Amino acid sequence: MSRNAESTAFRSALEVIRAVEPRVADAIGAELTDQRESLKLIASENYASPATLLAMGNWFSDKYAEGTVGRRFYAGCQNVDTVEALAAEHARELFGAAHAYVQPHSGIDANLVAFWAVLADRVESPALKKAQVRQVNDLTEADWFALRRELGNQRMLGMSLDAGGHLTHGFRPNISGKMFDQRSYGTDPATGLIDYDRVAEAAREFKPLILVGGYSAYPRKVNFRILREIADSVGATFMVDMAHFAGLVAGKVFTGDFDPVPHAHIVTTTTHKSLRGPRGGMVLCQPELADQVDRGCPMVLGGPLPHVMAAKAVALAEARRPDFADYAQRIVDNAQALAEGLLHRGAKLVTGGTDNHLVLIDVSGYGLTGRQAEQALLDSGIVTNRNSVPQDPNGAWYTSGIRIGTPALTTRGLGTAEMDQTAELIHTVLTQTTAGANADGTPSKAKYTLDPGLADKVARQATDLLATHPLYPSVDLG
């Protein structure tokens, strides 16, 4: 697509929107401006291509398409079948997966589909067998009562939230923590690394139905071959949530023992983050779980979003191009350069560095909480998010860490030299921010002091750093 065509497409879309609700059009334009001017370091965010963005704004949004390809509960879904089949085909080829289910609306939806697929596959009961051959809506209350008794209190072993796991891996406030009798494995207190012997010991003691691998804030590779061996040793299904690092798997940066797809029974992911697609989810699985996974709608999901599946097909097609592998490698190169720049300036990093796309800074060394650091950086034009560190004394709300990632800046074309400059800006802000106090004089975990002049200076420096790497250079809204 030419630059002129992309500009015309987005300009025309905004004109149509403005004619109905100008405030929405203004907010869309303002969001592009904000993203162009901000140093985006949120590890879970990225920039989708114009083609992916445009694929979501079309008539597929008007279609109901419950069911799967060729087996819909609504007529007239032949075009939805086309885009869903294309997205699944690209996913299978990209990841070397036996089966792909591209309907989940988000990562948590993908995980729920996976959980229920495993439960339905593994737990034997008369009611469950009945559910496998009848529509869910046909089950009686007695059937559901029997199912609840059989499916309740099954066990899950996943990475703890403060060690870098995700809230959908059994965190109590999340539905996963309510569905399962859950236990967490952490990391070695001295190194911050996964201790596989301790994971094996916990699995032998707890005997989970599901062993979950994957993370949202663990800055190292995970050996999925070892985790599969642990799962096999206790008869557990091995599930991996690769939402954060799917782009590194797709780009063949993570291979062998570090590629989860050949080792896991079932793999879930989002399609944005490092994969650089639309916001959504996806499930990859071995053949024996395919039928259960394809029951995601209506078991867990509502109607699929055909316009998002179309965008998934576009993004996955882009990820199969040779230049995506180069992009994925640059993500890691940039993350390691950013980590080195911070370490050189005296920052304390969880695990002492990174093997992937993210860096976790323990900001307690600056005398700050994660919440104070997050806001001070935002005041300075640097967008990050606070995050727990192992054994975090400040809990999951205030935290003691800042998580930063390189997928978005890498998409903009920034390289290792700019990562060192970014490290300098971060370090400058954090060293010049001081913790505040509450009205009664007690230390505050939220209040802080930062010279507004310094914040403005850093924000200008961040804008200057980005100026030579414009975001969506092909899009001019006029």
Could you confirm whether 294 is annotated as catalytic? no
Tokens of 135: 């529509």
Cα separation, 154 vs 26, in Å, equals: 49
- Check: CB of residue 465 under 8 Å from CB of residue 419: no
Average pLDDT rounded to a whole number, residues 247-263: 97
Mean of pLDDT over the chain:
91
Structure tokens at 191: 């190194």
Active site (annotated) includes residue 66: yes
Please, where in the chain does CATH 3.40.640.10 lie? 59-319
Q: Is 40 a catalytic residue?
A: no
The class of domain 59-319 in CATH terms is alpha beta
Q: For strand 382-383 and strand 385-387, is the pairing parallel, antiparallel, or unpaired?
A: unpaired
The letter for the amino acid at 9 is A
Q: Which residue has the tokens 């609700």?
A: 21
| Residue 64 annotated to the active site | yes
CA within 13 Å, CB half, 407: 27
Contact assessment for residue 158 and residue 212, using Cβ atoms and an 8 Å cutoff: yes
What would the two tokens of residue 454 be?
Answer: 């310094």
- Which residues have CB under 8 Å from 354's CB, separation 6+? 219, 220, 332, 335, 336, 339
Domain 322-467, second-level architecture = Alpha-Beta Complex (3.90)
- The tens digit of pLDDT for each residue in 438-459 reads 989 899 999 999 999 999 999 9
CA-based end-to-end distance of the chain:
19
Q: What is the pLDDT of residue 299?
A: 81
d(C-alpha 160, C-alpha 157), whole Å: 9
Catalytic residue among 270, 271, 399, 406: 270
pLDDT tier at 259, thresholds 50, 70, 90: very high
- Exactly one of 40, 155, 220, 273 is catalytic; name it: 273
* Residues 216-230, mean pLDDT to the nearest whole number: 96
Q: Which of 11, 63, 183, 279 is catalytic?
A: 279
Residues of the chain with CATH 3.90.1150.10: 322-467
Specify the range with the lowest mean pLDDT, choosing from 137-151, 271-285, 304-318, 441-455: 137-151
Q: HEC profile for the chain?
A: CCHHHHHHHHHHHHHHHHHHCHHHHHHHHHHHHHHHHCEECCCCCCCCCHHHHHHCCCHHHHCCCCEECCEECCCCCHHHHHHHHHHHHHHHHHHCCCEEECCCCCHHHHHHHHHHHHHHHHCCCHHHHHHHHCCHHHCCHHHHHHHHHHHCCCEEEEECCCCCCCHHHCCCCCHHHHHCEEEEECCCCCCCCCCHHHHHHHHHHHCCCEEEEECCCCCCCCCHHHHHHHHHHCCCEEEEECCCCHHHHHCCCCCHHHCCCCCCCEEEEECCHHHCCCCCEEEEECHHHHHHHCCHHHHCCCCCCHHHHHHHHHHHHHHCCHHHHHHHHHHHHHHHHHHHHHHHCCCCEHHHCCCCCEEEEEHHHHCCCHHHHHHHHHHCCEECEEECCCCCCCHHHHCCEEEEECHHHHHHCCCHHHHHHHHHHHHHHHHHCEEEECCCCCEEEEEEECCHHHHHHHHHHHHHHHHCCCCCCCCCCC
What pTM did the predictor assign? 0.90
pLDDT in tens, 85-130: 999 999 999 999 999 999 999 999 999 999 988 887 776 555 555 5
User: Annotated catalytic residue: which of 66, 229, 257, 420?
Assistant: 66
pLDDT tens figures, 286-320: 999 999 999 888 888 888 999 999 999 999 999 99
- Asked if 184 and 158 count as a contact pair (C-beta separation under 8 A), the reply is yes
Question: What is the chain's Cα-based Rg?
Answer: 23
User: What digits encode the pLDDT tens for the residues 46-98?
Assistant: 999 999 999 999 999 999 998 999 888 899 999 999 999 999 999 999 999 99
221 tagged catalytic: no
Contact 6, 50 (CB under 8 A): yes
Residue from 109, 143, 241, 294 carrying the catalytic annotation: 241
Report whether 237 contacts 209 (CB < 8 A).
yes
Q: Is 270 a catalytic residue?
A: yes
Residue type, 209: L
> Does the structure show a pLDDT above 80 at 248?
yes
Mean pLDDT of 149-155: 68
pLDDT of 136 higher than 60: no
Distance from the Cα of residue 442 to its chain's centroid: 37
Q: What is the pLDDT of residue 147?
A: 62
Catalytic residue from among 11, 64, 89, 431: 64
List all residues 6 or more positions away from 124 whose beta carbon is below 8 Å from its beta carbon.
Answer: 150
Q: What is the pLDDT of residue 113?
A: 94
